[in-house]
Chain A
């Protein structure tokens, strides 16, 4: 397999890097951007992940408009933060009325402009602007998007078509767009966005994956779904490929990768595929970004672990059991193993005789690959399409009781607005948390960005509930108070012993704190240090972990556990051994 080298490949103007969390989208996108910029091209790099890490990689504070990078003259980097975009949008709506309307009235406006719908549209408008703006197209040779993990990104890339269709089919001026006045005038922009995405001369979808089963499966799904909306110019990067082995650990990693490649889904085999070798170092700082595609440096660091004894997951489960927790979340960056840890906790509590419901809010997660509905455990997941349908039917049933058929057709139209999906998913989330009335609910969440947006809408809906005339389900009313109750709810932060997942987790913890939700335990997953190896590359990698294990230990005041890297997929009864 050819090593990925952006200088030797003819690249289109727009490049989208997508894939499962933790596969190295950001690393690959940054390396591409820096390599192209170093060769004299003008490059704009944009993260669309609400939990972006670009500021860590470039060690620079970023905005959603773009900031030039000091050490890379031709590179401008932007973080498209949906919550910030929504705040700017809100301010632009409200500012002209300050002093002209009473403050209480402005507060009312502000509150209403805080829903998940506003957040989604505001971010999506900025995204559409980046891919359609003529000046941006002239100013840059390449515009590179480092996207959020698959589930979130599929939705974003499908939205231009969804809104275009909705606006053109709407007969009564799409009242659901009301809050974003003039959105109809954006129709042309959405149409152009759809065209740009589907134009293979302008746009390439770069599917990033690890040579492992789960990320390859997710890449296949993204490839198929995006081809459906016309994004057919696709290529693949396999990141973290191990070229050789010399001890049992490196051998098992090597074979794990080779097996995954041998079983690669058929649709992916037809793509032109490049490799990026496994590196010992964390991809942060310009030097490491520049090195990613060209060289490794095996530096063994001689730091020591501070903790006397490193706790295991068993101790976390015992604590959850002894403190009678009812709602348990696993949260963290994509690809750190939230699903596995969530399943292991569910299994551990079930073995202790608890009735446990395990669920996921990640549209891309598959619990059934990890765990069966064994005694004491039930499984579910939020199916976005099914939830949308359920919500639509519920509203229509209510409407049919009082309204004529013609009027119902009018309401049906509003229900087709892409916004409705957000509310439907949110309600499903509230219903799941409500199951904690009579059992323990373990919730495996989507990667951070998606989860932050869910929390943001939980808070804004909570405010809305307090004054709404609407018919509000009990589950929704109780949601935030329950999440804030530390006696009932526990968030387990899951990370790897690496820079990026730890930084992301620290920011996540801050956001949770702001929302009034506390955390206690940190779980470090897939530790090569804990496994132990003599392979040069892997032991350099293991020695790089020590700094991060110590940092988590100190930050969590000893409330942490470390799980060793495993060559086998951890599922079924193996979950009990973590």
Chain B
């Protein structure tokens, strides 16, 4: 399995809900990553405010910041190599880069919702 990391600009929280306006792109990315996690795929998200050390240690990202600046963020990295800059990966990017079916991404889709409900019953405490 390929390992993806996303390096993000400084922000208040990863869903962007404490920002000044609702950023639907951040909502999308937060939930996609959550869905992937449920399918056993962990994507690391580093944002400048809570994990600045990662931006120092990752040479490719550090070079990107030094040469092109902070506007290049967010950047997606696979196996130490920068594959996307200046935007978050699309659904298709995820599927392609990680080589996984689109259904892993939890895209809004009636069939998938029914499937996912049958697998984890939809209640938070698991007492159903």
Binding site for B on A (CB under 8 A): 93-94, 96-97, 100-102, 104-105, 108-109, 111-113, 115, 117-118, 171-172, 175-179, 181, 394-395, 398-399, 402-407, 409-411, 414-415, 417, 419-420, 422-423, 426, 461, 464-465, 468-473, 476
- Rounded to whole Å, the gap between the CB of A311 and the closest CB of chain B is 41
Interface string of B98-123 (1 = CB under 8 A from A): 00000000111100110010000010
CB of A471 within 8 A of CB of B48, answer no
Interface string of B1-23 (1 = CB under 8 A from A): 00000000111111111111111
- In the complex, the chain A residue whose C-beta lies closest to that of B31 is A407
Whether B83 sits at the interface, judged by CB under 8 Å, is: no
A101 to B62, alpha carbons, bound, how many Å?
7
- In the complex, the chain A residue whose C-beta lies closest to that of B17 is A414
- Hey, which chain A residues are within 8 Å of B113, CB to CB? 404-406
A504 to B17, alpha carbons, bound, how many Å?
34
Whether B90 sits at the interface, judged by CB under 8 Å, is: no
CB of B17 within 8 A of CB of A108, answer no
A417 to B12, alpha carbons, bound, how many Å?
12
- Rounded to whole Å, the gap between the CB of B88 and the closest CB of chain A is 10
CB of B17 within 8 A of CB of A404, answer no
CB of B52 within 8 A of CB of A177, answer no
Of the residues A93, A402, A414, A420, contact of B28 by C-beta under 8 Å: A402
A101 to B31, alpha carbons, bound, how many Å?
30
Contact flag A179-B12 (CB < 8 Å), given A104-B70, A403-B27: yes
A508 to B23, alpha carbons, bound, how many Å?
34
Whether B56 sits at the interface, judged by CB under 8 Å, is: yes
- Hey, which chain A residues are within 8 Å of B127, CB to CB? none
Can you identify 16 A-B contacts, CB atoms within 8 angstroms? A101-B65, A104-B69, A108-B48, A112-B11, A112-B12, A118-B12, A171-B124, A175-B13, A178-B49, A395-B22, A398-B24, A407-B34, A410-B34, A411-B17, A420-B17, A422-B18
Chain B stretch 34-78: residues in CB contact (< 8 A) with chain A? 34-35, 47-53, 55-56, 62, 65-66, 69-70
- In the complex, the chain B residue whose C-beta lies closest to that of A408 is B31
Whether B92 sits at the interface, judged by CB under 8 Å, is: no
A334 to B23, alpha carbons, bound, how many Å?
37
Contact flag A101-B55 (CB < 8 Å), given A175-B15, A420-B17, A423-B18: yes
- In the complex, the chain A residue whose C-beta lies closest to that of B48 is A109
Binding site for A on B (CB under 8 A): 9-28, 30-31, 34-35, 47-53, 55-56, 62, 65-66, 69-70, 106-109, 112-113, 116, 122, 124
- Hey, which chain A residues are within 8 Å of B62, CB to CB? 101
A423 to B28, alpha carbons, bound, how many Å?
20
A118 to B10, alpha carbons, bound, how many Å?
13
CB of B23 within 8 A of CB of A172, answer no
Contact flag A411-B30 (CB < 8 Å), given A108-B9, A112-B48: yes
Of the residues A101, A109, A469, contact of B23 by C-beta under 8 Å: A469
Of the residues A171, A177, A394, contact of B13 by C-beta under 8 Å: A177
- In the complex, the chain A residue whose C-beta lies closest to that of B20 is A461
- In the complex, the chain B residue whose C-beta lies closest to that of A463 is B20
- In the complex, the chain B residue whose C-beta lies closest to that of A175 is B14
- In the complex, the chain B residue whose C-beta lies closest to that of A469 is B23
A172 to B35, alpha carbons, bound, how many Å?
12
- Hey, which chain B residues are within 8 Å of A395, CB to CB? 17, 22
CB of A464 within 8 A of CB of B19, answer yes
- Hey, which chain B residues are within 8 Å of A426, CB to CB? 20
- Hey, which chain B residues are within 8 Å of A101, CB to CB? 52, 55-56, 62, 65
CB of B21 within 8 A of CB of A93, answer no
CB of B21 within 8 A of CB of A176, answer no
A172 to B114, alpha carbons, bound, how many Å?
23
Of the residues A104, A409, A414, A464, contact of B15 by C-beta under 8 Å: A414
- Rounded to whole Å, the gap between the CB of B99 and the closest CB of chain A is 23
- Hey, which chain A residues are within 8 Å of B48, CB to CB? 105, 108-109, 112
CB of A176 within 8 A of CB of B56, answer no
CB of B12 within 8 A of CB of A105, answer no
- In the complex, the chain B residue whose C-beta lies closest to that of A109 is B10
Identify the interface centre among A102, A115, A175, A177: most chain B CB within 10 Å of its CB.
A175
- Rounded to whole Å, the gap between the CB of B104 and the closest CB of chain A is 13
CB of A178 within 8 A of CB of B17, answer no
CB of A176 within 8 A of CB of B22, answer no
A101 to B109, alpha carbons, bound, how many Å?
42
CB of B9 within 8 A of CB of A176, answer no
CB of A417 within 8 A of CB of B65, answer no
- Hey, which chain A residues are within 8 Å of B69, CB to CB? 102, 104-105
- Hey, which chain B residues are within 8 Å of A423, CB to CB? 17-20
- Hey, which chain A residues are within 8 Å of B10, CB to CB? 108-109, 111-113
CB of A97 within 8 A of CB of B56, answer yes
A532 to B106, alpha carbons, bound, how many Å?
75
CB of B66 within 8 A of CB of A102, answer yes
CB of B34 within 8 A of CB of A470, answer no
- In the complex, the chain A residue whose C-beta lies closest to that of B112 is A404
A252 to B43, alpha carbons, bound, how many Å?
72
- Hey, which chain A residues are within 8 Å of B51, CB to CB? 181
- Rounded to whole Å, the gap between the CB of A327 and the closest CB of chain B is 20
CB of A471 within 8 A of CB of B27, answer no
Contact flag A113-B65 (CB < 8 Å), given A176-B13, A468-B23: no
Contact flag A476-B13 (CB < 8 Å), given A402-B28, A403-B31: no
A181 to B24, alpha carbons, bound, how many Å?
24
- Rounded to whole Å, the gap between the CB of B44 and the closest CB of chain A is 13
- Rounded to whole Å, the gap between the CB of B89 and the closest CB of chain A is 15
Identify the interface centre among A94, A172, A426: most chain B CB within 10 Å of its CB.
A172
